[in-house]
Amino acid sequence: MTLGHQTEPATPKQGETNWGSGIFLIAAHLAAVAALFFFSWTALITAIVLYWAGGSLGIGMGWHRLLTHRGYKVPKAVEYFLVTCGTLALEGGPIQWVVTHRIHHAHTDREGDPHTPRDGGWWAHIGWILRGTARLRWKTPQKAWFVVREMACWSWMSTWAYQRRKSVHRRLQIPQTTS
């Protein structure tokens, strides 16, 4: 089953390494280890609340159930709040996330699934993030983009998340010297 157009699967290793995401993930894990030396109850409670807001409200209720599956309706203010909470999880922008997840549901654990465990546990966990996305591995079905791009707010958040990642990648590159 496809979302309206044929998809063209590629091997998981075809995508280029996403150095921006990789460096960010390494830096985030190093910062988490460093945070152990600066423990405070206030920081721990703040981290738990932000984790819950980003994961449960943002990704679970907002991006997954509300945007991807259209499982319920809420007032626009609540929708904006939930979508904004999703950005706290640092999983990219809502458009890319929703399109990737819709492709995943259309091809769950079969050829065409962007993060199937059939390509290995490493691929399903993190490899698909570091070596490609649904946009790199498949021609994204246009129908999915139109459904999600109906709100300028989501488009802005997705563009902002992409530009932020691109900016971090550009800042961390070592400039080439000429001899």
Tell me the per-residue pLDDT of 8-63, one tens digit each, with 9 for 90 and over: 444 444 567 878 788 888 999 999 999 999 999 999 999 999 999 999 999 999 99
Unique residue bearing structure tokens 């950005």: 87
DSSP letters spanning 112-136: T-TT-GGG-HHIIIIIHHHH--HHH
Q: How far is CA 49 from CA 28, 59, 98, in A?
A: 18, 14, 24
What pTM does this model have?
A: 0.68
Query: Rounded to 5 degrees, what angle do the CA atoms 107, 108, 112 make?
Result: 40
